[in-house]
Structure 1
Amino acid sequence: MSSNETTLVEAALRVLNTPDPVDKAKLGDQIANHWLQGLITNPYNPSQPDLIVPDRPARLTNVKLVSPSLMPKLGKAGSLQSRQAIVHSLVHTESWAIDLSWDIIARFGSKQESMPREFFDDFVRVAQDEGRHFTLLAARLEELGSFYGALPAHDGLWDSAVATSKDLFARLAVEHCVHEARGLDVLPTTISRFRNGGDNKTADLLEEVIYPEEVTHCAAGVKWFKYLCSRTRGDNADEESDDDAVNKFHEVVRSYFRGPLKPPFNEKARKAAGFGPQWYEPLAVKDFSQ
């Protein structure tokens, strides 16, 4: 790992092929530091064919997977059982977020995509954050008397990763501007529920560490989606007011995301991430009873 002969894409594949999420987080943190410190210098080797990225990352089998429709209700954090279930769900989500962050680097970090170095910098930082989130939440889950794998979970997040595996526009839009943004919508309520349930330690972790960093993760998706739109047009127009990017976003989400987006939206956090209501409100369900 300390050798300059290793590319970032090769290192990302090591994370994806590591089954234990604890090891994934540790290895990912090491790789991120090496990249950001300049110990890994090249994102990929342009003289070699693109490396094969696994359709599904290596995962331990200690988590019982069920259909999203069969997941038990998490509750509202009023009981220890509910708090354990919510944190377990968050730990599982973060375990997949580690893989998703390294997957976008490995899958789209090639000469064919020709993304600038800043793209790799941004998603390395996202991956490092997700690993830290997993580690902190897994430790908190154990403090609550449970452990990762004690409850069932679903892999719906990776299903959308598979659906967007051939299109960087789609991956950025669905994973980082839909799923990540949905996390911004629901986290404030989750934090309030933990506080109301008397669990300020979990609430503080979510509010002071995870929530603000998730804003930056969503911002990375918005930023690079706009970049792709601008590059496709071949100009340097002001992307913040770019109707073409908004229209492209609507087109991609309708093609790759099943169903409408669910309000209410966290407009403040979404604005901080770089996109306003014109991006997502036209994609929302109009009738809240649906």
Structure 2
Amino acid sequence: MSGDESLVEAALRVLNTADPFEKARVGDSVAAQWLGGAITRAYDASVDLPVPDRPARLSNVKLVAPGLMPKLGKGGSLQSRQAIVHSLAHTESWAIDLSWDIIARFGKQEAMPSEFFTDFVKVAQDEGRHFTLLAARLEEMGSFYGALPAHDGLWASAAATSKDLTARLAVEHCVHEARGLDVLPTTISRFRKGGDDTTADLLESVVYPEEITHCAAGVKWFKYLCMRLVSDEEEDEVIKKFHAIVRTYFRGPLKPPFNEEARKAAGFGPRWYEPLAVKEQGTNPTQHEGA
């Protein structure tokens, strides 16, 4: 690393690191330097740096289409609990890339303020820690990251929103991340019922509360962009924009039940997501795994 490296240059180093464990380590180092003041510039205004269409990734994880993924189960067996933790670790590995990509791809392009960079550096650092902890837990459970197949649906959404920051924030942070908030309480309960308090505690005390702040960052900067375009934008209009973007970039309706308490803590209430939901007709909504 050069002494005058900008944050965007450092973000690109993370994106171009293929090994997920090293990616997390490099990302944590970059985050510490930005938050500690060692990296002082978000970007060089005179230089345009290419952002990779797809971050560097090792090929040790077998990828399948989302619809062909084996069922994770409900945590009643060790095999099911391993599958759930593997799925969560894979999601977090992509979340690292998503966080650094939003910094590198959109920060300069949209002339975002320093606070935007800081918010997503913190998100990236959290995601790296989540991945590292979940992968370590997976090994304690007798498995390892790469032992099971996974899908890259999160990056497919990122690719679809690569030209529009409002779309990226809406889909990745206000839909996918919020979906994680919806399912995590049930996942935690399943681990406790399965006798795995160690994993349940990790999810409940570390992952869950931090994911609320990640969703909040998405809501915050989505609102910021809408208000910057029209300074007197009413929330109703902001919500209408959100609905239009999600319907454009996200396939299908959102699936209840929703974690209203966590979503409210992240800064958005039912008016944001209920109009986009599955219309239930006399049946109880089903819980789905994964974000």
Match of 1:15, SS? helix
Deviation, structure 1 residue 131: 0.1
Residues 191-210 of structure 1: pairs in structure 2 closer than 5 A: 191-210=188-207
Deviation, structure 1 residue 183: 0.1
Pairing 1:89–2:87 present: yes
Query: Deviation per CA, 1:83-131, whole angstroms, max 9, x where unpaired?
Result: 1000000010000000000000000011x30100000000000000000
User: 2:192 is matched by which residue type in structure 1?
Assistant: R
Does the 8 Å contact 1:88/1:151 carry over to 2? yes
Q: 1:259 maps to which residue?
A: 252
Q: 2:288 maps to which residue?
A: none
Does the 8 Å contact 1:2/1:39 carry over to 2? no
Alignment: residue pair count: 283
Pairing 1:245–2:238 present: yes
Write the distance in 2 (CA, Å) between the matches of 1:33 and 1:57: 21
Q: 1:125 maps to which residue?
A: 122
User: 2:17 is matched by which residue type in structure 1?
Assistant: T
Write the distance in 2 (CA, Å) between the matches of 1:212 and 1:136: 15
Deviation, structure 1 residue 180: 0.1
User: 2:229 is matched by which residue type in structure 1?
Assistant: T
Structure 1 runs (4+) deviating above 3 angstroms are: none
Q: 2:185 maps to which residue?
A: 188
Aligned match of 2:269 in 260, 271, 276? 276
Q: 1:100 maps to which residue?
A: 98
Does the 8 Å contact 1:2/1:40 carry over to 2? no
Deviation, structure 1 residue 234: 3.1
Query: Deviation per CA, 1:25-81, whole angstroms, max 9, x where unpaired?
Result: 000000000000111011110122x21000100000000000111111101111110
Deviation, structure 1 residue 244: 1.4
Residues 1-290 of structure 1: pairs in structure 2 closer than 5 A: 1=1, 3=3, 5-48=4-47, 50-110=48-108, 112-235=109-232, 242-287=235-280
Does the 8 Å contact 1:2/1:34 carry over to 2? no
Query: Deviation per CA, 1:132-168, whole angstroms, max 9, x where unpaired?
Result: 0000000000000000000000001100000000000
Unaligned runs of 5+ in 1: none
User: 1:34 is matched by which residue type in structure 2?
Assistant: Q
Write the distance in 2 (CA, Å) between the matches of 1:107 and 1:46: 13
Deviation, structure 1 residue 225: 0.2
Aligned identity (percent) is: 78
User: 1:37 is matched by which residue type in structure 2?
Assistant: G
Write the distance in 2 (CA, Å) between the matches of 1:272 and 1:2: 40
Write the distance in 2 (CA, Å) between the matches of 1:2 and 1:52: 18
* RMSD of aligned residue pairs (Cα, Å): 1.2
Write the distance in 1 (CA, Å) between the matches of 2:107 and 2:26: 19
Write the distance in 1 (CA, Å) between the matches of 2:139 and 2:253: 36
Deviation, structure 1 residue 2: 6.6
Write the distance in 1 (CA, Å) between the matches of 2:170 and 2:49: 24
Unaligned runs of 5+ in 2: 286-291
Deviation, structure 1 residue 287: 2.4
Does the 8 Å contact 1:173/1:221 carry over to 2? yes
Q: TM-score, normalised by structure 2?
A: 0.95
Write the distance in 2 (CA, Å) between the matches of 1:199 and 1:145: 13
User: 2:263 is matched by which residue type in structure 1?
Assistant: R
Write the distance in 2 (CA, Å) between the matches of 1:69 and 1:173: 23
Write the distance in 2 (CA, Å) between the matches of 1:82 and 1:251: 37
Deviation, structure 1 residue 242: 1.2
Write the distance in 1 (CA, Å) between the matches of 2:82 and 2:100: 28
Q: TM-score, normalised by structure 1?
A: 0.96
